[in-house]
Structure 1
Amino acid sequence: MQTVIAFIIVFGSLVFFHELGHFIFAKRAGILVREFAIGMGPKIFGMMKGETMYTIRLLPIGGYVRMAGEDVDKIELQPGYRVGLILNRDNVAEKIYLNQKVQNPNVLFLEVERSDLEDGLWIEGYDEEDNLVRIDVSREAIIVENGTETIIAPLDRQFNSKTVGQRAMAIFAGPLFNFILAFVIFIALALLTGIPISDPVIKNVVDGSPAEVAGLQDGDVVKEINGKSVSSWDDLVGIVQQNPGKALSFEIDRDGQAKELNITPKPFETEDGQTIGQIGVYSPIKDANILDAIVFGAKQTVEFSTLIFTLLYDLIVVNFDIDALSGPVGIYKATEEVAQYGIYNLMNWAAVLSINLGIMNLLPLPALDGGRLLFFGIEALRGKPVDRQKEGLVHFVGIVLLMILMVIVTWKDIKLFFF
């Protein structure tokens, strides 16, 4: 149960902030957002607030913000349709009923002749006395069809009516918010746990450890190990871990005086079966003020982003290996392992996953945010958009291929962890 809760919190937070980025910048651009969804597939919870439906869906493989004007969103009233209209005091239609009987004496029924629910906002048709009438439609009018209510989207509130810059920002904001989330988590970690010092300064020597037995003390600065210069904590850890059970000569600085100690790292077997050396000291930590925490958060975000970009390059360009990919099942199992080491490790894991999600979505692949941004770039260079049908076909093919890859990776993870 602990793992399930941890996974829901981590996954939900990552997807929520990603979609929140899309949502905020779409609203800033004046785009009508029809749905804010966490998860995919069948809806298990939904709540209408304002003009947006907020939903939680069954499959934990992402989420989406559905904007007016995207995909199949256009509402058209074909000639011959019989519609029922609820008018306000100014005789402007506020509700339009389609394909259903309406038991309301105040409804005006029309047989549609022509209509414009995007630009002019009017319906023209014949009333029950066969008079041709024209009714203005409110910008917030609701279409009711088979019991489902949908707010109309005037042209200026549709995604495709906005400038290239506004559309690009609404799409780019999703990955951007993933980087912002990681940045905020790293800041919180710095304030809660302190900031690791990169210098090879000894602190918190464990009782009975090889370091204590050899005489290593808090405050000692390691200068060399076996003649190799040590300039950072990572240098110290790397040499120690690579030499389990081997005597090492440490040259240290203690209060300005040079000393030499012989320490033999104790062998330790990791979960993946590797044997590394340990001497029983911890990385020094310093308390962080808000400025230190912000700098630390920025550095961590940049460092992990660089690392993930490098790993992706190696995976995709140098040596593609599907075994290196993980889907929701793999992330669940990794979250289970990390959660065992406490909330701070889980927070760090969430930050790294958030950066990974942001980077993956920026890849210039069809159906991903990066693929859509690529089309916006082409539009900006050409001065006109790519044919919508052709672009839609590219994204559709991309979605199909991504779903196939997701199924393959998920099955691989299931066989790896459960069989």
Structure 2
Amino acid sequence: MLVTILTFIIAISILVLIHEFGHFFVAKKSGVWVQEFGLGYPPRAIGKKIGETIYSLNWIPAGGFVRIFGELKQEGEDKKLQKRAMYNKSWKVRLAVSIAGVFMNFVFGVVVFAIVYSILGVPQYSGKVQITEVAPDSPAQLAGLIEGDYVLFVENDGSKQTIKTTDELIDYSLAYAGQEITYTVARNAEVENKVECPSEISLPEGFQCFEVGLAPRVDPPEGQGAIGVAISDTEIVKPTWWKRPFLGVVEGLREAWFWGRMIVERLFVLFVDLFRGVTPEDIAGPIGIYQVSSTIQRQSGMLMLLHFFGILSVNFAIVNLMPLPALDGGRILFILFEVLTGKRISTKIELTVNQIGMVLLLLLFLLITIGDIRRLIGF
């Protein structure tokens, strides 16, 4: 358990440090004075000044930070220092510094996904739909379907359809929900109700075909589909070794885009629920993320855990892009307001808005953490 906790802390710290390094690097390149770059959070344990920047190791062993001079306007400072202040840089520089952390997290997510796919192989459309998981007490389980089965055809009242994609199976099952459908299935085992496998569909050696009847549910439990299976129409292929890194990057970009879109959709639902007064049940905080990561490490191994942290990195990027005070997205919003109106928000207003935003974010963090604890103790 100690190793798992340490792995989790190190992984989260890496995500935060990569984010802060983005701000650090662009600020340095833009002539902004970076006062400190720290590993962990204060109080400071040790620190060394290299050039004009202090590099520190701090006592709270998670994450990190970058301290940039003059993020808000300060009076009475030396004129030479004022030229190096973030506040006095052009809007383009301030925008670049603000967005750099988000960019680094997204790129890191792509790199992580690329590494995973370069090792495991890349997903490729197979032209067949395979069952990857069967829910307990679902129509699929009661009918005897198991993980690894291929669904080849569906038929209801003379209406027969070849199934080549997951959408086709989902749409057909929903269209005839509540009615019995005959599913033609291929399995890598001896089967009853054996039928001839279609010659036009390529199946791995040893697979036999059979038919099974079941009625998709009209109102399935939350999180399950009409027949209670998880399905996939892709398979993992392993190209020539020298092609894998290039194809891995392509798949990494697709994966990062997919998760980015999913996270945006979930955040939209989260805020709609909060405005409706509904407490979100499926949003995880640090405790929930730790539980998920430890389960993945235990059941699926380090590569899948690495993949999970790639998702977290993309999540970190998207969350920081939200146009909320105290987040990068809030700073970006202020800058865009300045560009569009030609007017700059006063330091006093910006400071007040950021403080209010920080309080609201802490309350949201507390709410999510309470949800984690309730799920943990089964309350």
| Pair in the same fold by TM > 0.5 | yes
**1:168 & 1:293 partners in 2: Cα distance?**
31
Correspondence 1:287 to 2:238: yes
Q: Which amino acid aligns with 1:224?
A: F
Q: Which residue of 2 aligns with 1:96?
A: none
1:255 Cα deviation (Å)? 6.2
**1:67 & 1:221 partners in 2: Cα distance?**
56
**2:257 & 2:330 partners in 1: Cα distance?**
23
Which of 279, 301, 304 is residue 321 of structure 1 equivalent to? 279
Q: Which amino acid aligns with 1:51?
A: E
In structure 2, stretches of 5+ residues that fail to align are 133-143, 187-196, 214-221
Q: Which residue of 2 aligns with 1:304?
A: 259
**2:68 & 2:202 partners in 1: Cα distance?**
68
1:89-168 equivalences under 5 Å are: 117-119=78-80, 154-168=81-95
Which of 321, 325, 334 is residue 362 of structure 1 equivalent to? 321
Highest RCO, 1 vs 2 (Cα 8 Å, sep ≥ 6): 2
**1:239 & 1:56 partners in 2: Cα distance?**
58
Q: Which residue of 1 aligns with 2:116?
A: 189
Q: Which residue of 1 aligns with 2:189?
A: none
Q: Which residue of 2 aligns with 1:262?
A: 210
Correspondence 1:231 to 2:164: yes
Cα gap change, 1:408 to 1:59, in 2 (>3 Å): farther
Q: Which residue of 2 aligns with 1:211?
A: none
Q: Which residue of 2 aligns with 1:15?
A: 16
Deviation digits for residues 279-307 of structure 1, max 9, x if unmatched? 9x996321242332222111111111111
Q: Which residue of 2 aligns with 1:377?
A: 336
Please say if residues 247 and 262 of structure 1, whose CA atoms lie closer than 8 Å, have aligned partners that are also in contact. no
**2:45 & 2:266 partners in 1: Cα distance?**
36
Give the match's secondary structure for 2:354. helix
Q: Which amino acid aligns with 2:287?
A: V
Q: Which residue of 2 aligns with 1:350?
A: 309
Cα gap change, 1:191 to 1:395, in 2 (>3 Å): same
Correspondence 1:409 to 2:368: yes
Cα gap change, 1:264 to 1:283, in 2 (>3 Å): farther
**1:159 & 1:39 partners in 2: Cα distance?**
23
1:78-97 equivalences under 5 Å are: none
1:371 Cα deviation (Å)? 0.5
Cα gap change, 1:329 to 1:257, in 2 (>3 Å): closer
Q: Which residue of 2 aligns with 1:124?
A: none
Give the match's secondary structure for 2:126. coil
Cα gap change, 1:296 to 1:273, in 2 (>3 Å): closer
Q: Which amino acid aligns with 2:363?
A: I
Please say if residues 121 and 236 of structure 2, whose CA atoms lie closer than 8 Å, have aligned partners that are also in contact. yes
1:208-219 equivalences under 5 Å are: none
CA RMSD of aligned residues (A): 4.0
Between 1:352-361 and 1:42-51, the stretch displaced more is: 42-51
Cα gap change, 1:73 to 1:344, in 2 (>3 Å): farther
Please say if residues 249 and 260 of structure 1, whose CA atoms lie closer than 8 Å, have aligned partners that are also in contact. no
1:63 Cα deviation (Å)? 3.8
Instruction: Give the aligned length.
Output: 324
Between 1:342-351 and 1:401-410, the stretch displaced more is: 401-410
1:324 Cα deviation (Å)? 3.2
Cα gap change, 1:416 to 1:161, in 2 (>3 Å): same
Give the match's secondary structure for 1:249. strand
**1:14 & 1:336 partners in 2: Cα distance?**
17
Q: Which amino acid aligns with 1:178?
A: N
Q: Which residue of 1 aligns with 2:30?
A: 29
**Structure showing greater Rg:** 1
In structure 1, stretches of 5+ residues that fail to align are 77-115, 120-153, 206-213, 266-271
Q: Which residue of 2 aligns with 1:175?
A: 102
More helix per residue: 2
**1:191 & 1:300 partners in 2: Cα distance?**
13
Cα gap change, 1:54 to 1:326, in 2 (>3 Å): farther
Please say if residues 221 and 253 of structure 1, whose CA atoms lie closer than 8 Å, have aligned partners that are also in contact. no
Correspondence 1:397 to 2:350: no
